[in-house]
Amino acid sequence: LEADQAAIALPENGDDLTQLRLVSIYNPSRKGRGEAVTFPLNDQQAIKHALKRKYQVEIDEYQDNSQIRMLFTLMGAHDVGPLIIQPLLKDAEPIGVLILGNSISKRIFTATEAELCKTLADQISVAIDHAKEYATASAKAQQLSWTLRNQELDAGKRLAAMEAELKKSREEVALFAQRLHQYETEQRAGEENLKQAQARIVKLEKTVERAKAEVEKANQKEKQVSALMGEIESYQKSVAELEAERQNLAAAVERLEQNSYKIEHLNEALSASHARARKLARALKQARARSQQATPVPAALASAEASSQLEDLSCGVIISDASQIINRVNAATTYMLNKSSKQLVGSELIKVIEDERWQKALSQLQTGLGEMVTTTLHVGDNVLRATISPMASSDGNGKEGTVTILYDITAEAESQRARDEFIASLSQELRTPMTSIIGYTDLLVGESVGVIGEMQRKFLQRIKANIERMNIMLNDLIGVTAIDAGQLELRPSIVDIAEIIEDTIIGARAQLEENEITLDMDVPEDIPPVEADPDSVRQIMNNLLVNAIKSTPVGGSIGIMTSIHEEKNGQAAGEEEMVAFLKVAIRDSGGGIAEKDLNRVFDRFYRAERPLIEGLGETGVGLSIVKSLVEAHGGRIWVESEMGEGSIFYFLLPISEQFDDPWSEVEIPPLDLSQP
């Protein structure tokens, strides 16, 4: 604009226009106080008029105006001249004023310059507004910075609190370990107290002897009885108390010795029964081999030498013909059955022993399901092991009769019963600490007592997986005990096999994740229910899935499939009918089982020196329980394996009779008796 002077005035305090400040002054030949000069609005009526009217004011007559002279003085000019006062507006409201003057050249501003002044005023207003917004944004940014800093401080405090909780959790774990150590210390202290009690008995006996000697000396001094009566009574009371304490301790020691003797006796009897069982199995195997290679049994038994040998045997022998009529018995048989030879010879074999397992074994042998049948019988107070084998005919091509060998295993049965009771008691005692460990582990994994790290979670999951394995082994131990004791109880009901499979997979999730094993399921939605004991079916699935997990290497896969399978039922011609079963298959990706070992998969491995079957993840106890449970439900189990690929375990369970029953889907309306 080629003005001699220029200045911008803004409110001193916010939006209050009563007091203005010259915030910026342009004057090359400046004189006076310079920039940042304040003045009241009432002292400059021209500026007040421009701000009130909100339009530009031009002043060309300025000689005798003291306010204008004062304004030029504030801008640093020593003279006056033409003047333009332009309000600075934002949203039609004044926020300041632009002042232009020509005190040196005295040149009057043109209309173009006046319009340009308005344009510049608009740009200045925008710039001032942007500056204010920038200041406001800067203040907000600083406030947000302080807020973020405060949040970081709060986060640090929360992190410290979480670390304190973690420390507290670790202290609780340490306290639990300390309590466990204290329990073990108390147990060792109890054993030490027992030894001290035995030593104390010896001391008490010596004390009693000394006390008796003192009493005898006191009796010899009859003249001093009246003076020493009180002391004698005190000694007698002490002697009685010591004698009673000695007797109690002696009784306790005797009970402990009896318990120890019983345990040793049971162990010896158990070892002896195992040895006899192994000898018996070898003898039966050898006898069976000789019977297949030797001449027919009836001809051999006709000799006098054979009759003498039968009478000398300690085991009972019963020989019957093809019609199951008894022809010959030895003396051991009459003793075991408590019947004379006349009562036995000529009678029917099936009526000799009144035990349904005896009739079942004979029926099984007669139907040809096995060449030799072994069963356990109860005759009176004795327990007998009966082995029934067919006899070859004289030409060696057919069967002429049967030979039954009886062994008295009463002592072994008592030993087995004591062992089963001990195992059952031990199993129940183990459940309490295992339940406590599982509870504490779940609390730690669930972060109920504090946050845990990834490595800690991995270790806790491994602990939980091993505890679940121990729980499975404990259930197997209880199951073996129940099966051996003949106490297996089934409570059949309608069971959804798909739900059982899902529950089993959820229970084994920790082991699957630990070994990084993938699981594939092929279970149709319309799979029929089975009629079985739910707990038994759950144990069958659990044992087979655990076996598959143990057999499968890290990163392998397991598959579970279900389908409907039909088999023929009935033995006699014309009686066969197709029966529907539910077939469940569990596939692993292990190394497979050799063909020579397939027949031993479901055997129970009692002897530790017997090597485990290669390719089989289970130790043998769980699979033997599975076989017993499946057969108890009227089903069967088998295994198919391919070396280098893996194995597939199949089992069949009877389908519920309610499945595919048309009457179960018919809705019968209720009977309305109110109608005539």
Report the b/e string of 484-498 with b at 16+ CB within 10 A.
bbeeeeeeeeebebe
DSSP secondary-structure letter at 294? S
Q: Which phi and psi angles does 215 have, rounded to 5°? A: -65, -40
CA distances (Å), origin 602, targets 8, 219, 473, 544, 643: 104, 79, 16, 12, 18
Over 80: is that where the pLDDT of 635 sits?
yes
Q: Topology of domain 316-408, per CATH?
A: Beta-Lactamase (3.30.450)
- pLDDT at position 664: 40
Domain edges within the chain: 5-109, 316-408, 414-483, 489-654
Write the pLDDT tens digit of every residue in 29-53.
Answer: 765 455 578 889 888 888 988 888 8
- Under 8 Å CB-to-CB from 365, ≥6 apart: which residues? 373, 388, 390, 402
Higher-pLDDT residue of 424 and 48 is: 48
pLDDT of residue 293: 46
Look at residue 562 and tell me whether its pLDDT is greater than 90. Answer: yes
List of residues 6+ apart from 544 with CB closer than 8 A:
586, 623, 626, 649, 651
pLDDT of residue 285: 58
- Rounded distance between C-alpha atoms, residue 495 and residue 507, angstroms: 18
Q: Look at residue 131 and tell me whether its pLDDT is greater than 70.
A: yes
How far is the first Cα of the chain from the last one, in angstroms, to the nearest whole number? 116
For residue 371, the model assigns a pLDDT of 66
Assigned fold of 5-109: Beta-Lactamase (3.30.450)
With CA atoms as reference, report the closest residue to 31 among 78, 65, 71, 95: 78
pLDDT at residue 560 greater than cutoff 90:
yes
Residue 471 in this model has a pLDDT that exceeds 90 = no
Query: So what's the pLDDT on residue 443?
Result: 85
> Looking at residue 124, what is its pLDDT?
92
Token readout for 329 is 């018995």
- Residue 407's nearest CA partner among 387, 424, 391 is 387
Q: Is the pLDDT of residue 425 over 60?
A: yes
Does 211 or 416 have the greater pLDDT score? Answer: 211
Adjacency order of strands within the sheet including 637-642: 518-522, 557-569, 577-587, 646-654, 637-642
Q: What is d(CA 590, CA 594) in angstroms, rounded to the nearest whole number?
A: 12
Q: Nearest Cα to 478, choosing from 416, 547, 435, 425?
A: 425
Residue 461: pLDDT over 60: yes
Same fold, 5-109 and 489-654: no
Q: Cα separation of 111 and 60, whole Å?
A: 13
Percent of the chain with pLDDT over 90: 17
| pLDDT of amino acid 120 | 93
Q: What is the pLDDT of residue 14?
A: 78
Residue with the larger pLDDT of the pair 266 and 425: 425
Asked if residue 511 has pLDDT above 50, the reply is: yes
- Higher-confidence residue: 483 or 293? 483
In the predicted model, what is the mean pLDDT of residues 107-119?
A: 91
Q: 232-255 b/e with 16+ CB inside 10 Å = b? A: eeebeeebeebeeebeebeeeeee
Of 339-348, 393-402, 486-495, 581-590, the one with minimum mean pLDDT is 393-402
* Residue 493 identity: S
Residue 264's pLDDT is 57
Question: Which conformational region is residue 228 in: left (phi greater than 0), alpha (psi within -120 to 50 degrees), or beta?
Answer: alpha
CATH fold of 489-654: Heat Shock Protein 90 (3.30.565)
Residue 393: what pLDDT? Answer: 62
**What does the mean pLDDT of the chain come to?**
78
624 near 637, Cβ under 8 Å? no
Predicted pLDDT at 294: 39
Q: Say if residues 245 and 204 touch (Cβ distance below 8 Å).
A: yes
Confidence class for position 381, pLDDT limits 50, 70, 90:
confident
pLDDT average, residue stretch 315-333? 86
Side chain identity, residue 532: A
Please report, rounded to a whole number, the percentage of residues in the chain having pLDDT higher than 70.
Answer: 75
Q: How far is CA 67 from the centre of its chain?
A: 94
Q: Looking at the predicted structure, is the pLDDT value of residue 654 above 80?
A: yes
pLDDT one-digit tens code per residue, 190-245: 888 888 888 889 888 888 888 888 888 877 877 765 655 665 665 456 556 555 54
Kindly state the average pLDDT of the residues 296-317: 64
Task: Give the closest residue to 390 by CA, choosing from 406, 404, 378, 407.
Answer: 404
pLDDT band at 669 (very low <50, low <70, confident <90, very high): very low
Give the tens place of pLDDT for each residue, 151-203.
999 999 999 999 999 999 899 999 988 989 998 898 888 888 888 888 889 88
How high is the pLDDT of residue 297? Answer: 44
Tokens of 401: 């009769």
Q: What would the two tokens of residue 486 be?
A: 């003949």
For residue 665, is pLDDT > 60? Answer: no
**Mean pLDDT score, 561-590:** 77
Would the pLDDT of 650 be above 70?
A: yes
pLDDT digits (tens, 9 = 90+) for 250-299: 454 455 456 545 555 655 655 565 555 456 556 555 555 544 443 344 54
In a 13 Å sphere around the CA of 286, the CA atoms on its Cβ side amount to 6
User: Is 331 a residue whose pLDDT tops 50?
Assistant: yes
- The mean per-residue pLDDT over the stretch 550-557 comes to 90
